[in-house]
Amino acid sequence: MSQTLPAAIPASVFEQRADAIAEAARELSAMGWTPATSSNFSMRVDASHAAITISGRHKGKLGRDDIMLIDLDGEPVGTDARPSAETALHTQVYRRWPEMNAVLHTHSRTQSVASRLFAADGVVRLQGWELQKAISGCHTHESTLEIPVFPNTQHMPELVARVAAWLDAGKPLHAYLIDGHGIYTWGRDMAETRRHLEALEFLLGCELDLKKLRAS
Amino acid sequence: MSQTLPAAIPASVFEQRADAIAEAARELSAMGWTPATSSNFSMRVDASHAAITISGRHKGKLGRDDIMLIDLDGEPVGTDARPSAETALHTQVYRRWPEMNAVLHTHSRTQSVASRLFAADGVVRLQGWELQKAISGCHTHESTLEIPVFPNTQHMPELVARVAAWLDAGKPLHAYLIDGHGIYTWGRDMAETRRHLEALEFLLGCELDLKKLRAS
Amino acid sequence: MSQTLPAAIPASVFEQRADAIAEAARELSAMGWTPATSSNFSMRVDASHAAITISGRHKGKLGRDDIMLIDLDGEPVGTDARPSAETALHTQVYRRWPEMNAVLHTHSRTQSVASRLFAADGVVRLQGWELQKAISGCHTHESTLEIPVFPNTQHMPELVARVAAWLDAGKPLHAYLIDGHGIYTWGRDMAETRRHLEALEFLLGCELDLKKLRAS
Amino acid sequence: MSQTLPAAIPASVFEQRADAIAEAARELSAMGWTPATSSNFSMRVDASHAAITISGRHKGKLGRDDIMLIDLDGEPVGTDARPSAETALHTQVYRRWPEMNAVLHTHSRTQSVASRLFAADGVVRLQGWELQKAISGCHTHESTLEIPVFPNTQHMPELVARVAAWLDAGKPLHAYLIDGHGIYTWGRDMAETRRHLEALEFLLGCELDLKKLRAS
C-alpha cells in the first residue's frame, strides 16, 4: 500500500513518525499489551495531520509501511489504506491540545481487567504511590490521580462525547480506560507518552494486587 | 525419520506447511503454552491430507523434520512416524469444514486452570470484552462467545463424539477446552488461527483475574 | 579451579556432563527458578561418580568450570572445590537407582510457596491433569500423583533419612518438595529430568491458581 | 554532559563503577523493576565519593554517560548534572558503613505492593524460607529477617532520620521498604547487593502469594 504525501510534509518527517510508532508498537507488543492485532498508535505530523497505524495489522511485526497519514477529521490522506476504527479518539487529542504529539492505546490484561472492575465506579482513583510522579504535572504521592472509565461502545462519536464532557467539566485528564477494552494516554512526545503508559500499567497492576490481598 | 510424499503433493507445499507449523510451535513454546512436550499443531495440505506434529517432541525446538503427513482418517502417509495421540481432533476439523486450514492445540496454565474451574458448567461464557472481536464473525463486545468445556478422556472417539454433538445441535463453535487439559482452536489460515488462540488465552486470563477480584 | 579426572573417566565424558548441566542451569535460571545463587544440578558420570555444580555460583552464568566431580559419598574427587551443601540428596538418588542419571533441584516462587502451603499435609496430591502424563510411568490423568513435602533442615542426614523412609514404605517417588525451600526431581537422562521438572512446576502452579479461584 | 574527575580518582576506577551500575540498571530494567524512569543505583568510588545515576533517565538504556560523581554529602563533583532526588539515602549507607560499596533502589510491583500492605505494621517479617540464607550473615531458615517499612515522604531528611533511628536502636538492617514506593538494599560489592535484591524480591513475592492462598 503506497502513501503519497502532501507537498507541505517532507518524507523525512513522516518517516520519522512512522518509525517511532512502529518501534513503540513492536516493544509494547513484546510486553503482551497488544493481543491479537488489537491496539493503535499515532503521532502528530503537523498542525492538521497525524500518522496512525493501519487497521488490523499484528503490532509485533509493524514496519514503516503499516503507518498511514490522516487529517484531524480522521480522513485518510494520500492513501487507500483504512485507519483504525478508533481514529476519532486520537484526533480528538490532537485537536484539543496543540502541545500533545503522541497517543498510545493498548489492551493489556491488567488494563482490561481494571476497566471491568472499576466500570461501575466510572473512575480509578490512584493515591499514595510514588510512581504517580511519572505523570507530567504530578509532583507528590499525596495527590489523587483520577483515571475515568467510560462505557464501551462500537459507536465512536459516543466515546468522543464522553471524553469531551469530562474535559468540559474542567477535570484534569491524563488517560482514560474504556470498559472491557483498554487504555488511552498521550504526551508531548513519544518518550513522555510511553512513560505515562508504563506508569499507568504499573499502578493499575498494583491496585489490582492490593485489592486481592486486602480481601485476604 | 524420512517423509515420502504422494505424487500429487509438491515438496514445496508440504515444506511450507511444515515450516509454518514449526515456527508457530517455537513461538507458542516460548510463551510457555506447550509445557513438557505437550501440545500439537497441524495444517491442511490438500482436500485429503494434513501435516501434523510428530508425537513427543519438545515444541520449543521443532523443525521441519518433526512434522509428518497424515490422511484425514489420521493415518500416517509415506512415513513410519507416529502422529499425536489426539490426531482425530485435528482431522475432525478438516473433514467438517473445507474452509478451515490450521488447528492449534496448546496447554497454557491459564487454559488448564480455566478448564478445571468451568468444567462443572460445561462452558465458559465470554461477554463484554472488546477482544471478542478478534474471533472471526464476532463484531461487537455485546455478543456472548461460548467456549464449551468437554470432560477429559484418554479415548479419542469419545471426545470426537462430544464435539460432533455440540455442532449437530447447531451451536456455533470457534474453540473448545478439555477439562484439566488445554484448548483447541482453528481458522482459515495460520494467522487467523493464531489470532484466535491469542485472543482466547487473553480472554480466559481476564475472566480468571476478574473472578479472583470480584470475590474480594 | 582445576579438575583432575581419575584415569577411568575420559575427559570427553566429564565435559559432556558438565556442559549439559551448565546449559540446563542457564536455561532454568532464565526462567527465574534459581534466585540468588540458589539451586543445584548434577549428572551421573559412571557407577561411582557424578558431576555437580560448585557451591555459591550464579546459575545464570554457569560454564564448564563451575562443575566438579564427586564420588557417591559426596566427596570431591580431583579438585579443591566445595560441592553444594545438599550433595547428599543427589548421591542418594544415584545410589538408590542405577538407572537414574540426572538430578535437578530448583527454587521457583511456585515451588517455594506450594511447599509452605502443603507442608502441614506433608504431601501435594495431583489428580485430573493431562500433564501428569509427562511423568514417566504415568499414563492417565485419572491416576493420583503424590509429591511429598519434607520439613526443611540445615542438617542433610535428616532429609536423606526422610526420603529413605518414604521409599522404604514402598511408595512411588518421582520428586519431593522441602518446606520453604524447593523441589528435587530426577530421570534417566537430562531431557526426561527437565520434562519432569517442567511438568511439576506447571502442575503446582495450576494447583495454586485453582486454590485461589475456588475460594472465590 | 561531561564529567571531570578529581586528580585522586583515576578515570579507570570511575569508569569501572559507571559500567557496573549501567549494566545492573539495564538488567534490572529488563525484569520490570524500574518502571517509567524510576529507581536509582550507586557505587562507592573512594572514602569520600560515590558514582550515582543521573536523575530521570530511562534505566533500560543506561550507559556510562548517565552516571555522575558525588561526594558523600550528595553534592555533584566535576559535573553540572543533577543526581537523583534520593541521593541522601545512598550517601547515608556509605557514611555509616565503610565496608559497603554498592546501593540499589528499585520499584518492582511486588516491592510496591508489599510496602503498602505491610505499612501499618511498619515491618515485614520473613521466617521459614531457605532463601533467607542469601542475605549475608543469615545462616538458617529458622531465623527471622526484619525489613522495616518507612512512611513515604518527598522530604529526604525525614527518611534519613527514620533509617538512622532504626540503626541507633541497635536493630540489624539489610534493606528497607518505603511505603507505596520501593526497596533499598546494599552490600560489599555489586554481586552481593544484587544477590540481596534478588532474594528480597523473591521472598516478598512468596509472602504475598502465601497471604492470598492462606486466606482461601
CA atoms within a 13 Å half-sphere pointing along the CA-CB vector of A173: 26
Give the span between the Cα atoms of D105 and D151, in whole angstroms: 16
The number of angstroms, rounded, from the C-alpha of B136 to the middle of its chain's C-alpha atoms is 15
C-alpha cell at A37: 492485532
- pLDDT tens profile D173-215: 999 999 999 999 999 999 999 999 999 999 999 999 999 998 7
Which value, to the nearest 10 degrees, does the dihedral of the CA atoms of residues B163, B164, B170, B176 take?
A: 10
Write out chain C's pLDDT in tens, 216 residues: 589 999 999 999 999 999 999 999 999 999 999 998 789 999 999 999 999 999 888 888 899 999 999 999 999 999 999 888 899 999 999 999 999 999 999 999 999 999 999 999 999 999 999 999 999 888 888 899 999 999 999 999 999 999 999 999 999 999 999 999 999 999 999 999 999 999 999 999 999 999 999 875
Name the interface residues of C facing D (CB cutoff 8 Å): 35-38, 58, 107, 109, 112-113, 116-117, 152, 154, 178-182, 208, 211-212, 214-215
Q: Which residues of D touch A198 (CB under 8 A)?
A: 35-36
Nearest to B112 by CA among A190, A84, C208: C208
The reported pLDDT for the residue numbered D197 is 97
Which segments of C84-189 does DSSP mark as H helices, in order?
87-96, 109-117, 156-168
Sheet (strand A123-127) strand order: A67-71, A49-53, A40-46, A102-106, A182-187, A175-178, A144-150, A123-127
**CB-based contact A210 D109, cutoff 8 Å:** no
- In sequence order, the β-bridge partners of residue B182 are B178
C-alpha cell at C131: 500433564
Give the residue on B whose Cα is nearest the Cα of A112. Answer: B206
Name the interface residues of B facing C (CB cutoff 8 Å): 35-38, 58, 107, 109, 112-113, 116-117, 152, 154, 178-182, 208, 211-212, 214-215
CA atoms within a 13 Å half-sphere pointing along the CA-CB vector of D51: 28
The reported pLDDT for the residue numbered D214 is 87
Give the span between the Cα atoms of B14 and B5, in whole angstroms: 8
pLDDT(D18) > 80? yes
Length of chain C: 216
Nearest C-alpha of chain A: how many angstroms from B181? 23
The reported pLDDT for the residue numbered A103 is 98
Give the span between the Cα atoms of D122 and D179, in whole angstroms: 9
Give the span between the Cα atoms of C109 and B71, in whole angstroms: 45
A40 — pLDDT class (breaks 50, 70, 90):
very high
Taking a C-beta distance cutoff of 8 angstroms, is the pair B40, B57 a contact?
A: no
B–C: how many Cβ contacts below 8 A? 67
Amino acid letter at C75?
E
ipTM confidence score: 0.93
**CB-based contact B211 C213, cutoff 8 Å:** yes
Sheet (strand B123-127) strand order: B67-71, B49-53, B40-46, B102-106, B182-187, B175-178, B144-150, B123-127
**CB-based contact A210 D36, cutoff 8 Å:** no
**CB-based contact C198 B109, cutoff 8 Å:** no
Question: In chain B, what percentage of residues exceed pLDDT 90?
Answer: 85
pLDDT(A210) > 70? yes
A138 — pLDDT class (breaks 50, 70, 90):
confident
Give the span between the Cα atoms of D142 and D203, in whole angstroms: 14
Question: Please, what sign has the CA dihedral across residues A94, A95, A100, A105?
Answer: negative
Q: A11 or D38: which carries more pLDDT confidence?
A: A11
Q: What is the mean pLDDT of chain D?
A: 94
The strand pair at D49-53 and D123-127 is best described as unpaired
D106 — pLDDT class (breaks 50, 70, 90):
very high
- pLDDT tens profile C131-166: 999 998 888 888 999 999 999 999 999 999 999 999
C-alpha cell at A136: 507530567
pLDDT(B175) > 70? yes
Q: What is the mean pLDDT of chain B?
A: 94
Nearest C-alpha of chain C: how many angstroms from D40? 21
pLDDT(B19) > 60? yes
Q: Which residues of A touch D212 (CB under 8 A)?
A: 212-213, 216
Residue D143: φ, ψ to 5°: -75, 170
- Which CB contacts under 8 angstroms, 24+ apart, belong to C72-81? C72/C48, C77/C6, C77/C49, C78/C3, C78/C4, C78/C5, C78/C6, C79/C1, C79/C2, C79/C3, C79/C4, C80/C1, C81/C1, C81/C3, C81/C54, C81/C55
> pTM for the whole thing?
0.95
